[in-house]
Amino acid sequence: MKETFFRISDKNSYGRSSIQVDPIKEIDSLTMLNEDTILLKENSFKVNKGTKWLDVIPYESSMNFLISKRLKTALVNENVSGVVFFPTTIINHPEKEYYGLIINSLAGPILNLEKLNNYEDEHIDFDFSTWKKTDFFTLTDTLIFGITERIKSLLEKGKYSNIEIERL
């Protein structure tokens, strides 16, 4: 039986005035963070806009995001795989404890890209044999944060704020 996968992203809803950040050290906004990222050493962020501190805080200039201590603790307690967390410092808000995440498991590529682009398919199909059975993964040449049903259930049960979950 084929597993169902999901993608996660920040909700970033209009009118919610959620905090958005960017790292002090500039990064390429069109790439996923990896274990060579400069942010592991230079992990300071600045608040660009917003006033509401939520469990998921997006970078204003890329698809990456920070997560709250509460969310990170839940993920660590569940021994999730495929992700590495790194501490951050938020300028002017040193009391706030947020973590960056690096998805270090890769699957893919997308097999039905042309059909998706032509609105002929609704969900992403990828080479299932490339998935390393990790809880978190990215798809080759994308900015997609993929998760398993187990992680989806954990996130829904915990009612974490500002996270969107969609079927992959």
Question: pLDDT (tens digit, 0 to 9) for every residue of the chain, 168 residues total?
Answer: 578 999 998 886 555 688 999 999 888 877 778 788 888 888 999 998 899 999 999 988 888 899 999 999 999 999 999 999 999 999 989 999 999 999 999 998 888 788 777 778 788 888 889 999 999 999 998 889 999 999 999 999 999 999 999 999
Max distance between CA atoms of the chain, in angstroms, equals: 50
State both tokens at 148: 């398993």
Cα-Cα-Cα-Cα dihedral sign, residues 103, 105, 109, 111: negative
